Structure 1
Amino acid sequence: MNHTYKVLQDDVEFFAAALFQVRVSVWHVQEDGQHIIDYGGPVEAYTDVSIKISGKRYFRDVFEFRAQK
């Protein structure tokens, strides 16, 4: 399937997204479907546990982070 987004997973990908101010959206993906949580913005900070986007922190192990291509 051809996507218009890239799923960010590694610190290097989050660093590049922050550096280039790429819009990153936050998704909750489950077996029964996927739901957008936040239309997002640029990555402001990241740790091993969470990602900060538009002043809010999201857990890395709960959500999927998608960067526009």
Structure 2
Amino acid sequence: MGFCMRFLEILCAIVLPPLGVFFRYGCCKLEFWLSVVLTILGYVPGIIYAIYVIVTDPERHYDDDYSAV
């Protein structure tokens, strides 16, 4: 499931860079707003930054959220 989610985030980052970063971090993080600014300044820098942020982020373990239940 992790590979599929990351693939979709990268695909969204190519189409609309802040959207891919939003799916990874949400809208209240520095990474998202930096992606918005870079996309406004130039589409290609926004794509490069968004893909970089998504690929270098360590894989999240969604199962850890339910281990306390």
TM-score by length of 1: 0.32
TM-score by length of 2: 0.32
Higher strand fraction: Structure 1 or Structure 2? Answer: 1
- Which of structures 1 and 2 has the larger relative contact order (alpha carbons within 8 angstroms, sep 6+)? 1
* Bigger proportion of residues as helix: 2
